[in-house]
Structure 1
Amino acid sequence: MDESFGPEYLRPAQADCPRCGCCTAALCEKGRTSFLGCRGHVDEGHRETVTGCPCSAETTRETAAWRMAQVRVTRLAAELPLTAEAELLLRGLATGRVGTGADGGELLPQLRVRGLVQLVHGMPAITQLGYTYLAARDDVREVTAVRVVDVDRKRRTARVAVPAWRPDELVTVLLDQVLCDSGLDLGSLPGRELAASANCAARSADRLVLTGFRDARTAPAPAVEAGAGHGGGA
C-alpha cells in the first residue's frame, strides 16, 4: 500500500509584470528601486532572462539605475572628462556634423564603454547619457542650499527642495547617494539643511543633477564647481 505523506506545497505563482515579458510584477517593483536592476535580485539561473529588463534599466526615467547613471555621467564630465578629440566626436554625433558611418577609430569604443554612444543598425548614435554628459560639460554648476523634505525608505529615495532652482518644486534623489556623500545617518535627514553641487539653470527636474551632498554647516561658500561651464553646447 502506498503511503501518503501529505500535500505537496508549492510556492504560489507571482503575477507577471504588465510592462515587460521577462519578470514578475514583484521583481520589477524591486528592480526599479535598485542600482542592480532586476538582474540583481534573481538567482544565477534566471539572470540572463531578466538582464536588460526595461522596467529597471538605466535608460528608463526615474529608476534607481537611471538616477545613478545621471550622477555618474555628471561626475565624469566634471572630474574625469573625455579627451578633447573624443568630446569633439560626441558633439559631432549630437549635432549631426559627424556622419553615422564614421568609424571613430579608437574613440568610439571609449564612448560606448561609458554608455555615451551606442550602435543603431551598426551605426554610431549618441545616447541620452551622451546628451547628459555634454550638458554637464556646458552647464554652470554651483554649490547651493538643499533641504531634505522627506525620505522614502522602501523606494530608497529622498525628496529635496532646491530654492536656487525652483523654490516650490521638490526633486527626487537617491537616498543612498545622500547618505554616502554626507556621512549623515538616515534618521537625521528629514528637515536637514544640506549643500550640494547643482546645475540650477536646468529646465526640468529630470535635467537637474545634484552631486556632492554635505552638511550645510561644513559646506564651503557657494562657488562655481571646477570643470563645469565648458562652451559649445550640443
Structure 2
Amino acid sequence: MIDLHYWPTPNGHKITLLLEELADAGAKLDYRIVPVNIGKGDQFRPEFLAIAPNNRMPAIVDHAPADGGAPLSVFESGAILLYLAEKTGQFLPTDLRARNTVLEWLFWQMGGLGPMTGQYGHFHVYAPEAIPYARERYAKEVHRLLGVLDRRLAGRAFIAGDHYTIADMACYPWIDVYTKAPVDLSAFPEVRRWRAAIAGRPATARAYAWAKQVNPDAGRPMSDEEKKLLFGIERKA
C-alpha cells in the first residue's frame, strides 16, 4: 500500500498520473489519498514534516518497500516518480541511453518548467499587486521553456521518443496551468499535439478526477488567509 499525501496541484497530479498509468500497464499499486490541504496549513503539521521536511506536497509512504524493511517515505515529486518507476519497472527504460534521456527531461522539468511556471502563476494570479517586471520576466521564461519542449517533441510521440514515460508525466501538469492567466500555446504546435494525446488517456482522466473528490472547492478564489499560509507569510503550527 502506498499512502499518497496529496493536494490537486500540478505536482500532486504528477503522482496520480503515474499511479493510474501503472494500473493500466498491469503493474497496479494499491494506494490511498491522504489530503494535505495547503490552504489550511496542513503542510506545516509535524506529522507531515516528518516525511516531507521541505513542507511541500506530494509525499508518499510505501508500506511494502522492495527491501522488505520498515515503511519508506519519499518527498519531492521527481524523486517519487523515479522511486515508483523503479519499484514497478514501468515508464522508465532500462537501456542506458534511453534512461538517461528520461532523467534529463525529468530534471529539466523539476529545475525549470515547474518553478518558472509557478512563478509565472504567482505574479500573474496570486501576487497582491501587479509587478510588471516580474510578470514579463516569467512570461518570457515560460515561453522560452515551451519553445525548448516544442523543439524536443518535433518528430517524437513523447518526450523521450515513442514511449510514454515519467518525463511526460512530470511535464504535462505544468502546461498552461492558470485559467486566470492563460498561456498562448499557438506558437507551440508540438506541445499542443502532445498535450492533447496525454489528455485523452483514460489514466489521465482518472488521475485528474481526484481533484474534485479531494477538494470540492477547487477553482474558487483563494482567501487572503489561504494565500498567507500557502506562500509562507503566516504559518500555523
**Which one has the largest radius of gyration?**
1
TM over 0.5: no
* Larger helix share, 1 or 2: 2
Q: Report which structure shows greater RCO (CA 8 Å, sep ≥6).
A: 2
* Band the TM-score falls in, shorter-chain normalisation: under 0.3
Give the TM-score of the pair, scaled to structure 2.
Answer: 0.26
Give the TM-score of the pair, scaled to structure 1.
Answer: 0.26
